[in-house]
Amino acid sequence: MSNDTTPSVMPACVEPAVDVLKNINPMKILFSLRNDSTQLGTNIDNNTQVQTSKILNLSNKKLSDQNLRRIAYSLKSNTTLITLNLAGNNFGITGIKYLLIALQSNITLTTLDLQNNKIGDEGIQCLAEFLYDNTTLTTLNLGGNDIEDKGAYHLASAIQHNMTLKILNLQNNNIKDEGAEALAYALENNSILNTLSLGRNQINIDGIQHWANTIQNNITLIAFDIEGNGISDDGVQYLAYALESNIGLTTLNLGRNQITAEGIQFLANALETNKTLTSLNLGGNELGNNGIEILATALQYNNTLSTLYLGRNSVGIDGAQHLANLLNHNTKLVKLDLQSNEISDDGIQYLADALQNNITLKTLNLARNNIGDKGTYNLANALEHNNTLTHLHLALNLIADEGAQALATLLETNRILTVIDLAFNQISIHGIKQLASASQKHSTMTTLDLRYNQTDANNRAILNDTANVLML
C-alpha cells in the first residue's frame, strides 16, 4: 500500500488529513522538526530519529495537532518502530487522524501509549476503525482521553474484529453503564484481549452486571481493573457469583468502590471455591473490622490468592487480630498491603506473633498505621524468628530512636530482609546512625529508606558516604 493511499477501512475519518500530509514539503518538515526540538526539549534535531527509532518516547512534550502532523509525516517512512509513547500531550482528533495515516502501513508497532490527551469520542471512532484491520498492535493505552459511551461503543466494535490487541487501558475516562455493556459484549466475541482497565470511570450496578455475565464464561481475560467506579455491595454480589465459575481471571482490582462487610460476604463465599485468582485489590473500601473478619476467615484455607491489598479500610486492632489468624493458617499469601489503616501498636502485636511462624509472606506494608516504638520493637523481635519476609514498609508512622534501635539489632542477625522503608518517621541522627551501621553488616540489604526523618544536610552527606544502601 502506498503511503499516500487512504486506508479503505476509514475514509471518512482521514481523507482531509491525507490531503494535508500529501502536500507537506519535506524540507519544511525537517525545519519544523528542528524548531519543535528546540521548543519542546526533545532529542529530535532532524527527522532521522523519527524515521528510524524502534522506541520513540515523545510523552509530555506539549505536542499540538500541528506538531503531530510534522511527526506523522516522518513516521510514514519508519519501518522499525515497535513502541510509540505520545502520552500527556495536547493533541485531539486532528492529531490522531495524522497519526493514523502515518501508521496505516506500519507492520511493526506493538505498543501505543496515548493516555492523557484530548482524543474524545470522535477521535476514538477513527482509532477504532484503524484497529479493525490492524494486525500488530498488542498494547493500547487510552486512559484520560474524555472517552464516553459512544467512544466505548466504537472500541467495542473494533475489539470484536481485532485479532492481536491483548492489553487495553481505558481508565480515567467518562464511560458509564451503556459503554461498559458494549465492551462486555465485545469480549464475549473476543478470544485475544487478556487485560482491561476500566478504573475511575462512572460504571454502576447495571454496567457491572453485564461484566459479571461476561466474566462467568470468559477464559481469556486474566486481569480486570474496575477501581473507583460505583459498584457497591450489590455489584460485588454479581461479580462474586461470576467468580465461582470463572477459570481464567487471576488479577481483580475492586479498590474504591464503596464495598462494605455486607458485600465482602459475597466475595468471601466465592473465594472459598475460586481456584484461579491470585491478586485481589480491595483498597479504599469500607470493610472495617467486621469485613476483615469475614474475608480473613474465608482465606484461611485458600490455596491460590498470593497478593492482597487492604489499605484504607479502617482496619483496627480487632481487624489485625483476624488477619493474624489468617497468617497463622494460610500457606499461599506472599504480599499483604495494609497501609493507611488504624492498626497501632496493639494491633501490631497480633501480626508480630503470627509472623514468627508464617513461612510464606514476603512483603508486608504497614505504612501510615500509627505504629510507634513499642509496636516496632515487638515486630523486630518477631522477625528474628521469621525466615521469609524480605520487604517491610513502615513509612509515615510514629517510630523514633527506640524503634530504630530494635530494627538495627534485628539487622545484625537477620539476613532475609532486603528492603525496609522508614521514611517520614521521627528517627533522629542517633537512631539513623545505628541503622546505617547495622545495614553495612547486612549482606543482603538493598534499600533502607530513611528519608524525611530528623536529619540535616550535613548528616545526610556523612551517612551517604558510609552506607550505600541508604535513602536519606
Residue 309 maps to which CATH number? 3.80.10.10
Judgement on whether residues 289 and 187 belong to the same structural domain of the protein: yes
Average pLDDT, the chain: 89
Q: Look at the chain and report how many structural domains it folds into.
A: 2
Judgement on whether residues 96 and 173 belong to the same structural domain of the protein: no
According to DSSP, the β-strands at 335-337 and 279-281 are unpaired
Instruction: Name the more confident of 52 and 285.
Output: 285
Judgement on whether residues 123 and 64 belong to the same structural domain of the protein: no
Judgement on whether residues 46 and 175 belong to the same structural domain of the protein: no
Q: Is the pLDDT of residue 392 over 80?
A: yes
- At residue 77 the predicted structure's pLDDT band, cuts being 50, 70 and 90, is confident
Judgement on whether residues 418 and 373 belong to the same structural domain of the protein: yes
0.85 surpassed by pTM: yes
Q: Which of 155-169, 175-189, 233-247, 447-461 has the lowest mean pLDDT?
A: 447-461
- At residue 135 the predicted structure's pLDDT band, cuts being 50, 70 and 90, is very high
| Angstrom distance (rounded) from CA 103 to CA 105 | 6
Residue where a domain stops, chosen among 97, 114, 131: 114
State the residue range of the domain holding 73: 1-79+87-114
Average pLDDT (149-160) is 98
Residues 170-194 pLDDT 10s:
999 999 999 999 999 999 999 999 9
Q: What is the pLDDT of residue 443?
A: 76
Average pLDDT (78-100) is 94
Measured at the alpha carbon of residue 131, what is the angle toward residues 125 and 135, in degrees to the nearest 5?
A: 170
Judgement on whether residues 96 and 138 belong to the same structural domain of the protein: no
Q: Is the pLDDT of residue 16 over 70?
A: no
Q: Which of 64-68, 83-87, 375-379, 386-390 has the lowest mean pLDDT?
A: 64-68
Q: Is the pLDDT of residue 24 over 50?
A: no
Q: Which of 3-12, 182-191, 196-205 has the lowest mean pLDDT?
A: 3-12
Q: What is the pLDDT of residue 36?
A: 45
Judgement on whether residues 260 and 340 belong to the same structural domain of the protein: yes
- At residue 458 the predicted structure's pLDDT band, cuts being 50, 70 and 90, is low
Judgement on whether residues 236 and 182 belong to the same structural domain of the protein: yes
Half-sphere exposure for 178 (CA within 13 Å, toward CB): 7
Judgement on whether residues 100 and 121 belong to the same structural domain of the protein: no
Which residues, at least 6 apart from 7, have a Cβ–Cβ distance to it below 8 Å? 1, 14, 104, 130, 133
Judgement on whether residues 209 and 152 belong to the same structural domain of the protein: yes
| Angstrom distance (rounded) from CA 72 to CA 77 | 9
Judgement on whether residues 72 and 15 belong to the same structural domain of the protein: yes
Judgement on whether residues 359 and 219 belong to the same structural domain of the protein: yes
Q: What is the pLDDT of residue 22?
A: 53
